[in-house]
Amino acid sequence: MRYITAGIIAFFIILFGVLLLTRGGNQTAVSPNDRAIKLSNYVANPDAKLVYIKDGPINASQNHRAIRITVTPNFKIIDVIQGYQGAVIKTETFANSNDAFGQFLAALDRVGYTKENRGKSYKDSISACPTALRYYYRIYASDEEIMNLWSASCTTGSFAGDVRSTQSLFQAQIPDYFKFTNGVNFALSQ
């Protein structure tokens, strides 16, 4: 009888330990950017979405422009955005495949897409470079934001990956990227 009781107690202790490990203990102390993000985890996720945004300097809303590229396992979208409310003035969508998406994620992993600079000076992209170009690097899964990093043409920002290679990889997802974006003006005034 003593062995059965000891076995039951051991079972519950092990079960409790497994629950703590899988739930991460104190969940409120861990933010999304504190967890290691593995791009390979998103290859088979049909709800995965990677977003790259090239955002112009702070200027008049009617002159403000941004280019957003969204890549998922099923499609790729490029948008030209006017103003600060996200008004899409030009868009195009292309088909994608799981294999192509997997290759894209592997390439982004090699250029450090999820690497982050940590520190208080990296928190605010707008006040750091109001007259420069800013770049945003995001990951979503089921519409939940998993990662949101930034860099700018005048400072490093929170993104610690290879800025140029990342930009090239996203642009390469869009056929005729430069033809589509020809005429998009990122000047302070137009």
DSSP SS3 for 187: coil
Please state the pTM of the whole predicted model: 0.79
The total of structural domains in the chain comes to: 2
**Bridge partner residues of 82 (DSSP):** 65, 87
Residue 29 has pLDDT above 50, yes or no: no
Has residue 187 been placed in a domain? no
Q: Are residues 6 and 87 in the same domain?
A: no
Q: Are residues 12 and 101 in the same domain?
A: no
pLDDT tens, residue by residue, 129-145:
888 899 999 999 998 99
CA distances from 32 to 24, 114, 141, 146, 184 (A): 13, 11, 12, 6, 33
Q: Are residues 69 and 2 in the same domain?
A: no
Has residue 158 been placed in a domain? yes
The whole-number average pLDDT for the span 92-96 is 98
Q: Are residues 62 and 135 in the same domain?
A: yes
Has residue 188 been placed in a domain? no
Give the residue numbers spanning the domain of 145.
Answer: 33-181
Could you tell me if 174 and 166 are in contact, meaning their C-beta atoms sit under 8 angstroms apart? no
Assign 3-class secondary structure to 146-169.
Answer: EEEEEEECCECCCECCCHHHHHHH
